Each structure stands twice: as structure tokens, then as C-alpha cells.
């Protein structure tokens, strides 16, 4: 009989699909659903970025581009990464990719052999486990709360083994909004150096930091050579559907990223790349404006959740609140169902992000102020 290649056995699908299907059913029955389950910016792609794509089309910039990206975009990325992230990258250390996901895919494919272990701070962004499974690697969860309580070096040492090959380091973090401090980054860097580990850094939310600073771990002394950093335009410029991201790495990892790209997508859509050049030229004051918008939403949602008895610290970055909903006396899947059925409030169960997320729900505050107000109101009236 037919069977799927064994390599894909351990690779799963997203749980969010099920939640989306239920939302569609409720809608079809005429219910108004307050959506907090999403993972994308509430704003539209800025006009000057759309204009740049239309200009590229009119100028017939529609043909094959180099697989690693058009030189103009790679140069703009190298400049951005040097000035804003303080990573000493040259143009040849940059590759343009289909969103952050392709950078992470290529990074794990380049680093992880079957049986290798990867340390992943948990709760964590779920696809990471599937990306590691795709390499027949092993995900080893390291509770972020434990690391913060007991120190990163001691905690990482407890979860590391002779098979440990890499650390996945996501800041700001999805789903918790945790932003690792410079001191924490330094501790992780020291551990990686001592054990000769590779760091796969995921900085998808780099521009959405409200408290503290974003530190790229590859900018720390000696770390550029052992770090693959994945970036994306998706969250920073409200470009989730454009599929443009990039990774920064040195050899041998860049060769791995080039090979996985060449034989999968063979590069990013040429007009999207011209739009990305315009995006990266956006004055950084743009981020002051959008951060102010996100912060208003964060503060409103976090205050409302705490009033409801769902303990929630203000997330320092990204656009997710991750309250403790254990007062409901339900596990997180049942709690998410409860909120959806009783109050038409859609969230993501914390356990989807690993066992350390149990007892929590993920609420995105990347939505309208009105949705946040009305969703909270519905929770007050119906729970």
C-alpha cells in the first residue's frame, strides 16, 4: 500500500486549524466571535511598500532573481543588520527567504543530524518541534521560568547532554511575550561557547519590544560564527502574506541555507523582493508609532484579564498575552473551548505551546481596540 515517507511521521499540523474551523461554524450560525487567536499584525501593509511592488511590476521586474536574493535587497539587509542588530554581517552572510519559516527550516536542516538534541525554551512556538522532527532530531524543552528563577547556565546544564547540538533562542518570545535581557543573552552565549553549540536565533518580533531592549545574540562577542539568525518582514511591516524574510549566518551554515532554498523555492518572488527594499528603507520612527498602538492594546487587554482573575504580567514584547487561567479549574484546551462556547472569545490553549504552557491561554492583542473592549465585556458577562 501507499505510505508517506517515514521522515514525515513525526511532523504534525497546527492545532490552530481546528480552532479556526470552529470559529467558522459559529459564524455560520450567526454568532459574533471575538478573535484573539491570530498571529498577525492588525494593520495593513504600508502604502509605500505596496507602491514599490506595483512599480516593480510595471518595470517588468518579474523574472528569475538570484536564488539567494536580489543584490539590492541583500545589501539593504546587510546594512540594516549591521546598524540595527549590531551583527557584523557582510552581503555574503545574508540570504533572502520566504518568511521566517524558511530560515528556521534551513537552519535546522543545516545543523541537526538524526538523533541530535536541540534545547528549546518553553513555552515555545510550536512549529519548532516539527521542524526539528523533520530532521529526525529531538526537542528538549527547557522551561523559561526555571531558567529565570535558577539561572540560565545551571538550567541549560541540567537539560543538556552529549547529544545536544543547538539551542533555539526566540526573543521576543511567542507565545509568552518574554524578552530576554542582555545578561540572559550573555549567559546563553557563554553556555553555547563552552559546549560548542550552535544557536538558532528567531527574531521575528525584534521591532515589537515595549519594555527593555532587543538584543541579537549574534551581536555578542564571538557569537556571530556560531549563530544562525532568522528574521522576517512579516510582523515588523505587516507583510505576513508577502512571504519575505532573511537569515544571517556564516559558513558552513550559509551553504546549508543556500542548498535548502535552491531545491525548495529557488528564491523569493522578485516583485516581493523589490517591495522589501522599500520596507527596509522605512524610517525607524514608523516603529515608534506602531509600538504605541500595540502598547495601548496590550495595556487594555492585560488590565482586563487581571480584573477577571486571570493573572497576567504585561508581556515585554511581541503581541501576545499569556494569562494563567487555572482559576477556571479546567485544562487549557477545555478552558479555550469554554471561552469560545460561552463568550465567543477565541484564544489558543497554552498546552499547544508545550507542557509548560498548560494552565494558560494565548490572547493576541493585535486586533482593534473595539474587539478587545467587547471581548473583555463578553468574558465579564458570560464566564
Q: What angle do CA 7, 10, 12 make, to 5 degrees?
A: 115
Task: Report the residue number whose CB is nearest to ligand PLP.
Answer: 99
State the Cα–Cα distance between residues 360 and 335, nearest whole angstrom: 9
- My answer on whether omega of the bond before 2 falls inside 30° of 0, hence cis, is no
**Nearest residue to 237 via CA among 204, 211, 210:** 204
| Candidate residues 26, 101, 314, 330; the one interacting with ligand PLP per rule CB under 6 A | 101
3-state secondary structure of 292: helix
Helix or strand (DSSP H, E) at 165: strand 164-170
Site string for ligand PLP, 80-99 (x = CB under 6 A): -------------------x
Nearer to ligand PLP by Cβ, of 78 and 204: the residue is: 204
* Residue 5 near residue 136 (C-beta atoms within 8 A): no
Q: What is the DSSP string of 64-112?
A: ---TT--HHHHHHHHHHHHHHS-----GGGEEEESHHHHHHHHHHHHHP
* Using rule CB under 6 A, residue 19 touches ligand PLP: no
Nearer to ligand PLP by Cβ, of 219 and 236: the residue is: 236
Give the distance, in angstroms, between the CA of residue 370 and the centroid of all CA atoms in the same chain. 26
| Candidate residues 33, 34, 39, 269; the one interacting with ligand PLP per rule CB under 6 A | 39
Least distance (Å) between residue 3 CB and ligand PLP: 29
Nearer to ligand PLP by Cβ, of 39 and 350: the residue is: 39
* Using rule CB under 6 A, residue 363 touches ligand PLP: no
* Using rule CB under 6 A, residue 204 touches ligand PLP: yes
| Candidate residues 245, 267, 315, 317; the one interacting with ligand PLP per rule CB under 6 A | 245
Within residues 249-288, the interface with ligand PLP by CB under 6 A covers none
Beta strand pairing status for 361-364 and 348-349? antiparallel
Region binding ligand PLP by CB under 6 A among candidate stretches 42-50, 71-79, 152-160, 232-240: 232-240
What residues make contact with ligand PLP under the rule CB under 6 A?
39, 99-101, 125, 170, 174, 202, 204, 232, 234, 240, 245
Amino acid at each position: 500500500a501507499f505510505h508517506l515517507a517515514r521522515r514525515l511521521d513525526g511532523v504534525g499540523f497546527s492545532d490552530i486549524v481546528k480552532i479556526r474551523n470552529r470559529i467558522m461554524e459559529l459564524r455560520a450560525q450567526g454568532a459574533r466571535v471575538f478573535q484573539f487567536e491570530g498571529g498577525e499584525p492588525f494593520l495593513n501593509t504600508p502604502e509605500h511598500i505596496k507602491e514599490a511592488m506595483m512599480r516593480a511590476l510595471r518595470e517588468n521586474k518579474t523574472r528569475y532573481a538570484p536564488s539567494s536574493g536580489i543584490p539590492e535587497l541583500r545589501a539593504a539587509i546587510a546594512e540594516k543588520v549591521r546598524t540595527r542588530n549590531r551583527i557584523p554581517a557582510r552581503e555574503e552572510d545574508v540570504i533572502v527567504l520566504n518568511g521566517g519559516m524558511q530560515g528556521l527550516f534551513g537552519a535546522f536542516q543545516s545543523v541537526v543530524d538524526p538523533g541530535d538534541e536541540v534545547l528549546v525554551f518553553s513555552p515555545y512556538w510550536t512549529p519548532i518541534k516539527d521542524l526539528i522532527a523533520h530532521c529526525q532530531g529531538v526537542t528538549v524543552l527547557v522551561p523559561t521560568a526555571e531558567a529565570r528563577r535558577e539561572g540560565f547556565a545551571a538550567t541549560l546544564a541540567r537539560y543538556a547532554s552529549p547529544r545536544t547540538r543547538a539551542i533555539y533562542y526566540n526573543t521576543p518570545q511567542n507565545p509568552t511575550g518574554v524578552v530576554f535581557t542582555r545578561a540572559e543573552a550573555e549567559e546563553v552565549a557563554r553556555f553555547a561557547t563552552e559546549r560548542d553549540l550552535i544557536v538558532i536565533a528567531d527574531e521575528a518580533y525584534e521591532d515589537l519590544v515595549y519594555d527593555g531592549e532587543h538584543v541579537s545574540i549574534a551581536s555578542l562577542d564571538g557569537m556571530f560564527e556560531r549563530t544562525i539568525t532568522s528574521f522576517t518582514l512579516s510582523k515588523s511591516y505587516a507583510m505576513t502574506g508577502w512571504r519575505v524574510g532573511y537569515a544571517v549566518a556564516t559558513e558552513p551554515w550559509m551553504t546549508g541555507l543556500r542548498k535548502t532554498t535552491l531545491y525548495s523555492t529557488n528564491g523569493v518572488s522578485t516583485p516581493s523582493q523589490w517591495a522589501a527594499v522599500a520596507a527596509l528603507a522605512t524610517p525607524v520612527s514608523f516603529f515608534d508609532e506602531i509600538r504605541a498602538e500595540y502598547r495601548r492594546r496590550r495595556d487594555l487587554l492585560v488590565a482586563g484579564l487581571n480584573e477577571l482573575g486571570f493573572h497576567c504580567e504585561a508581556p515585554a514584547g511581541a503581541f501576545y498575552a499569556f494569562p494563567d487561567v487555572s482559576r477556571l479549574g479546567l485544562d487549557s484546551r477545555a478552558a479555550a473551548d469554554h471561552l469560545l462556547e460561552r463568550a465567543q472569545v477565541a484564544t489558543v490553549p497554552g498546552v499547544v505551546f508545550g507542557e509548560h504552557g498548560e494552565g494558560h491561554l494565548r490572547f493576541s492583542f493585535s486586533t482593534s481596540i473595539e474587539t478587545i473592549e467587547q471581548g473583555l465585556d463578553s468574558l465579564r458577562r458570560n464566564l
